[in-house]
Structure 1
Amino acid sequence: MFTVAVDVMGGDLGPRVAFQACKKFLKSRPDVHLIVAVTQDFADEAESFFASRKSRVRILPCETQISMQDKPAQMLRQGLKSTMAAVLREHQQGRAQGILSVGNTGALMVLARHLLGTLPGMDRPALATLLPTRQKPLLMLDLGANLGVSADQLVQFACIGAAWSKVQCAAAPRLGLLNVGRESTKGTDNVRQAAEQLQRIMPDYYVGFYEGDDLYRGELDVLITDGFAGNIALKASEGLSEWLSEQLHSEFRNTWFLRWLSFLWAPAIARIERRISPARHGGALLLGLDGVVVKTHGKSNERAYRHALEYLLQKVERFDKPRLLAELNRLQNH
């Protein structure tokens, strides 16, 4: 059995969307228990909603929640009684094997670093997720947890990204740095300095600079960037995916002949949407923490929240800390 803790407060759509997603998730995964953190004003409603599954759900009432407007710098003074801190403590104390939050990313990083700590050699965690590409999933980090980073921190992200990929997939990962060009003279000082270090410490993994239009070619296993560029690239990709999906449906439905043949094209469109839908790739892991912490979009609907829960459980099931630490140590001390 697995137990995961869920912070359902702080999202744009409120906790009831998360309640629905949690109930459907429990139905599909009978081997999972949930700890659901809510504020006091939602505690009774949550107890009632999960009454039929009370043997597998523990409601955790808390004094406060963290909003999207709260400043991360205030978290260690004001956020320790929040739902977000509560689920992190459940993980820290071993009652949950991983956590999911829909709340403020900056606050989650600050509280997670404080309560869980980071892995050796990591100044801070990076937000990472697997993006679908033409050939194989691409692990991209950072996606928004650290807007500005040094060359050394980019190298740290590369070490944890490569170590995670190697442990998950066994094969030696191909790793690149996101840049505005492939030439060695392109990019900021931090990016060029990081490239020099990576060529030295992981020559078997590092394959050079990659540009934004390379993201979906499927040539890489890991792509490293700072959180500013990474978040823009991710959000632009998600917006494009949604627009393309709308265009496909519009084109097919606005022609009577194609509508009549919907039984032929509708399954293909559904398969494409399953591969590229942002809702199916809405979970991101804070890599570099001493634990399994997943963040999902603040605007997550029920579908996106359920996929984030599934993503969290995949990471819990495959988290091999001894092997991860061994590979991370090997790369850091090369």
Structure 2
Amino acid sequence: MFTYAVDVMGGDLGPRVAFKACKKFLRFRRDVSLTLTVTTEYYQEACSYFSGNPRVRVIQCQSSIEATDKPSQMLRKGQSSTMAVALLEHQQGRAHGVLSIGNTGALMVLARQSMGMLPDLERPALATMLPTRGKPLLMLDLGANLSVDADRLVQFACIGAAWSETLTGQPASVGLLNVGRESGKGTDCVRIADENLSELMPENYQGFQEGDDLYKGELDVLVTDGFAGNITLKASEALSDWLLELFNREFRQHWLMKWFVWLWLPAVRSIERRVSPARHGGALLLGIKGVVVKTHGSSDARTFRYALRYLHEKTRNFDALQLQQRYLNHRRHTASSSDE
């Protein structure tokens, strides 16, 4: 039986969409139980909503961290918040992983404090798997670190490669996002990171990658700073939504196509399963000693449910010791190469 701590507070649509998602998720996952952290305002409602379900535990908390909170407000709420209590459940071994819809910055800070970091890794990176023409692509960072230096990009490459290799058992191919493939392109930070990665991860590093390389399916890991990563991700999600809407509208409006709905509808649904942002709404905080997943603050019940599924899938395949060893192997290679 897997148990997950779920921070349902802080989303744009309120905690009720999370309640709905959790109930539906549990209906299809008999091997899962959930611990929900809620504020006093929603405690009785949550208890009533899940009444009679022995696989749901609700914890009443003093406060929640909102997306609009300033850093000083986050610090004041601190360990009394729903987010911190959910992380504590994971840290103390009562939960196998954590899902939060709350403030990304606060989640990163509190996860570092509660869970700790892998050795020689300064900050965690927000990462998710993007669907492509070929194999899924692990992209990081997606917004946890808006501005980074070259060494931080190298660290992201190491933890990204380690995560990919832990899941697949195969050497990971790693690329660095840039405005061009030529060595002289990009900022000083990106060029320095490129030089370092070329020397330190020659068996993994595939050089600069441009934006139109994302969906070719040739890479396992793509590294960038959180500023470019977040813009890329959200632009991709918006494009996917628009294309799915366009497909449906064009097929349904054409009088002839309505007669053949039984032919084209399965194809559209197959495309939707592969590219819909709602189905890829979870992102990992890589580098934390544990499994911590963040979902969009604007997630509806469907997106939240798929984020729960993402957490479950990653937790079942997660081997903390193997991940740390693979990461340290990459970093040791880095250190030894630097000494030479």
Coarse TM-score class (shorter-chain normalised): over 0.9
Q: Which runs of 5+ in 1 are unaligned?
A: none
Following the alignment from structure 1 to structure 2, what is the Cα–Cα distance between the partners of residues 226 and 72? Answer: 21
SS, match of residue 298 in structure 1: coil
- 2:337 is matched with none
Deviation digits for residues 229-260 of structure 1 (CA, Å, limit 9, x no counterpart): 00000000000000001111111111100111
For 1:190, the aligned partner's letter is C
Partner of 2:338: none
- Alignment RMSD, CA only? 0.9
Q: Secondary structure at the match of 2:63?
A: coil
Residues 23-63 of structure 1, C-alpha deviations (whole Å, 9 max, x = no match):
1111111111110000001111111110121x111101001
CA distance in 1, matches of 2:71, 2:298: 19
- What is the rounded CA distance, in whole Å, between the counterparts of 1:285 and 1:73 in structure 2? 25
CA distance in 2, matches of 1:23, 1:56: 10
The AA in structure 2 aligned to 1:103 is: G
By how many angstroms is 1:17 displaced?
0.6
CA contact (8 A) 1:294 1:312 kept: yes
1:4 matches 2:4: yes
Following superposition, the deviation at residue 107 of structure 1 comes to 0.8
Report the Cα offset of residue 325 of structure 1.
1.2
Counterpart in the other structure of 1:326? 325
Shift of 1:76: 3.3
SS at match of 1:130: strand
1:224-263 to structure 2, matched below 5 A, reads: 224-263=223-262
**Whole-Å separation in 2 of the counterparts to 1:64 and 1:333:** 42
Conserved 8 A contact 2:64-2:77 = no
Cα deviation per residue 1:81-105 (whole Å; 9 max; x = unaligned)?
A: 1100110111111111100000110
Aligned pair count?
333
Give the match for residue 63 of structure 1: 62
- Normalised by the length of structure 1, the TM-score is 0.98
- Normalising by structure 2, what TM-score? 0.97
Which amino acid in 2 is paired with 1:332?
Answer: R
In 2, Cα distance between the equivalents of 1:149 and 1:324? 23
Contact 2:40 2:61 in 1 (8 A): yes
Q: Aligned equivalents of 1:230 and 1:331: distance in 2?
A: 23
Identity of aligned residues (%): 63
| Whole-angstrom distance in 2 between the partners of 1:77 and 1:153 | 29
Secondary structure at the counterpart of residue 41 of structure 1:
helix
Q: Which amino acid aligns with 2:15?
A: P
Query: 2 CA distance for matches of 1:72 and 1:145?
Result: 15
1:76-131 CA distance string (max 9 Å, x none): 33332110011011111111110000011011111111111111111000000000
After TM superposition, the runs of 4+ consecutive aligned structure 1 residues lying more than 4 A away are none
Q: Which residue of 2 aligns with 1:50?
A: 50
Aligned residue number for residue 147 of structure 2? 148
Aligned to 1:25: 25
